[in-house]
Chain A
Amino acid sequence: DVKVTQSSRYLVKRTGEKVFLECVQDMDHENMFWYRQDPGLGLRLIYFSYDVKMKEKGDIPEGYSVSREKKERFSLILESASTNQTSMYLCASRTPWENTEAFFGQGTRLTVV
Chain B
Amino acid sequence: AQRVTQPEKLLSVFKGAPVELKCNYSYSGSPELFWYVQYSRQRLQLLLRHISRESIKGFTADLNKGETSFHLKKPFAQEEDSAMYYCALSPNSGYSTLTFGKGTMLLVSP
Instruction: Mark A residues whose CB is within 8 Å of B.
Output: 31, 33, 35, 40-45, 48, 50, 56, 58, 90, 92, 94-102, 104-107
Judge whether B103 and A42 touch: CB under 8 Å. yes
Q: How far is the CA of A95 from the CA of B51 in the complex (A)?
A: 16
Quick one: closest A residue to B42, CB to CB? A106
Judge whether A99 and B51 touch: CB under 8 Å. yes
Judge whether A100 and B44 touch: CB under 8 Å. no
Those 3 A-B pairs whose CB atoms lie nearest each other, nearest first: A42-B102, A43-B100, A104-B44
Residues of B within 8 A of A105 (CB): 43
Closest CB-CB distance, B24 to chain A, in whole Å?
14
Judge whether B32 and A99 touch: CB under 8 Å. yes
Residues of A within 8 A of B94 (CB): 50, 96
Closest CB-CB distance, A52 to chain B, in whole Å?
15
Judge whether B98 and A102 touch: CB under 8 Å. yes
Closest CB-CB distance, A91 to chain B, in whole Å?
10
**Which chain B residues numbered 73 to 110 have a C-beta less than 8 Å away from chain A?**
86, 90, 92, 94-103
Judge whether A48 and B95 touch: CB under 8 Å. yes
Number of interface residues of B (CB under 8 A): 24
Q: Among the listed A56, A100, A107, which residue makes an inter-chain contact with B95, where contact means beta carbons less than 8 Å apart?
A: A56
Interface string of B17-59 (1 = CB under 8 A from A): 0000000000000001000100000011110010110000000
Q: How far is the CA of A48 from the CA of B96 in the complex (A)?
A: 10
Judge whether A104 and B96 touch: CB under 8 Å. no
Quick one: closest B residue to A90, CB to CB? B44
Residues of A within 8 A of B65 (CB): none
Closest CB-CB distance, B86 to chain A, in whole Å?
6
Q: How far is the CA of A10 from the CA of B104 in the complex (A)?
A: 25
Q: How far is the CA of A42 from the CA of B6 in the complex (A)?
A: 10
**21 A–B pairs (Cβ distance < 8 Å), ordered by A:** A33-B97, A40-B9, A42-B6, A42-B86, A43-B44, A43-B86, A43-B100, A43-B103, A45-B99, A48-B97, A90-B44, A94-B96, A94-B98, A95-B96, A97-B96, A98-B32, A98-B92, A100-B96, A101-B49, A104-B43, A105-B43
Judge whether B51 and A102 touch: CB under 8 Å. no
